[in-house]
Amino acid sequence: MSENNNIALTSLEREYIIATQKGLPLVAKPYHAVAEQLNISVEQVLSMTKDLQERGIIRRVAAVPNHYKLGYQYNGMTVWDISDEHAEKFGQMVGNLPFVSHCYLRPRFLPKWNYNLFAMVHGKTPEEMHQLRSQIKELLKDVLVERNDDSSQNIPTQSNDMLTSTEILKKTGLRLKDKTA
């Protein structure tokens, strides 16, 4: 996991992020439009973009496809109970799978929640979702924790599960608030 750097933004950098966080304008010269909106030069916009990328504040500038429009109607957060000593190594391996869009290590909350690895997958059919989960399970088979059935502890005994989406309530990345609004 990346460390918390608590990087401070200048007021202009903050304005730039607020102006572009929902996407660049869909015009022939998007950086010109942003420059005009911020009342600065295109060169300043490009320089600021490069600087923010180098500082790790902007990860990338990219087109983001709508996976639902591409036929990926099913989403599942697979959750895994893997041994702590292998969690980082195998978490990276799962995260590198081409069909995994998000992958996180998180703490367990025993006795109710024993899962520590979370991996989001997307598919066109429920069958595809289960096939993707099976591929992850095959990769993790030697590091999955098998728990004894101890119903007095209320600890789930299965080493993995998949939480599927039923409805989108909100879907955005982090958004900075416009302090002037």
pLDDT tens track for 128-144: 999 999 999 999 999 99
CB-based contact 155:111 (threshold 8 Å): yes
44 and 78 co-located in one domain:
no
Give the SS3 label for residue 100: strand
Residue 119 lies in a domain: yes
pLDDT in tens, 26-44: 999 999 999 999 999 999 9
State both tokens at 154: 């209320």
pTM of the predicted structure, to 2 decimals: 0.74
Structural domain contains residue 64: no
CB 57 within 8 A of CB 2: no
Question: For the chain, how far is it from start to end, CA to CA, in angstroms?
Answer: 33
Burial class (CB in 10 A: 0-12, 13-18, 19+), 50: exposed
Q: Is residue 36 part of a domain?
A: yes
Same-domain status, 103 and 146: yes
96 and 149 together in one domain? yes
Domain span holding position 36 = 11-54
Number of domains forming the structure of the chain: 2
